Amino acid sequence: MIDVIKRNNVRVVGTGEQAMLLAHGFGCSQNVWRHFVAAYQTKFKLILFDFVGAGQSDLSAYDSKRYSTISGYAQDVLDIITALNLSNVIFIGHSVGSMVGVKAAIMQPAYFSKLIFVAPSPYYINEDDYVGGMDKEDLINLLTLMDSNYLGWSSFLGPQVMGNSDRPELGEELTANFCATDPDIAKEFARVTFLSDNRADLEKLQTESLTLQCSDDILAPLEVGYYIQEKASHNTLKILQATGHCPHLSAPEETIAAINAYLHLH
């Protein structure tokens, strides 16, 4: 029997009854949700975890085959929900974590009440009339740099992804997160994140969802938010004033206020 709690470094905090499960994005860990913990620990039972390879997860549990697709990570989310005997879960995912949630909700829709996507993207590559944000050649070059110089790649990409150049400490935090992730696993997870095409999944999703789209995000341009709204039934799009790819860190008050409005919280 796999110890799911140890594998994913699962933490349960908060005094509320309804479960809110928080899934971090590529190169991060559950620590990115600290502002949400402060805001929601009296309202919800918060489920925090690290994807295998990140944070304090069990590195020995990493399996290249299992985690070669988004589905492997989605199964981990379902494993956590099952292990904790949760139901009616509000799922919040950042970036690729959003698409993990989409997969999980397609696999087991009864587990979820709502999905909330923070800076999501079903596909990062510009293709035909789809605007994903990056040309494939540029993305391949970025992944090649990652292979040859992981620390240099982290130092370059962290501030770019975070945006908010007037607050360099935010970019430094993201760079530090990248550097704290096992490099070999990070290289594989990067390919799963940036090369997976999850657009077809959006039309299979029946769970209500909210997309929180930043007004300027190099990884997920505005067109992506409109695309998700169009393709996923029961999706609400909220464009934030926040910029960059990590509004839960750069603009937590605005991000939390948008979630509160969606969930009708006071």
Catalytic residues: 95, 217, 245
Cα-to-chain-centroid distance, residue 25: 4
DSSP three-state, residue 120: coil
Q: For residue 4, what are its two tokens?
A: 């799911």
Phi-psi category of 30—alpha, beta or left, where left has phi over 0 and alpha has psi -120 to 50? alpha
Tokens 């913990």 -> residue: 37
What is residue 18's DSSP assignment? S
DSSP H stretches of helix in the chain: 4-7, 34-40, 70-83, 96-107, 136-148, 150-162, 168-180, 183-195, 199-202, 222-231, 247-250, 252-263
d(CA 15, CA 42): 5
The C-alpha angle with vertex 19 and arms to 17 and 22, in degrees rounded to 5, equals 145
Q: For residue 190, what are its two tokens?
A: 């990067």
Residue 228 near residue 128, CB atoms below 8 Å: no
187 Cβ neighbours under 8 A, 6+ residues apart: 143, 146, 147, 150
Cα 76 to Cα 117, 168, 183, 197, 223: the distances in Å are 18, 33, 21, 20, 30
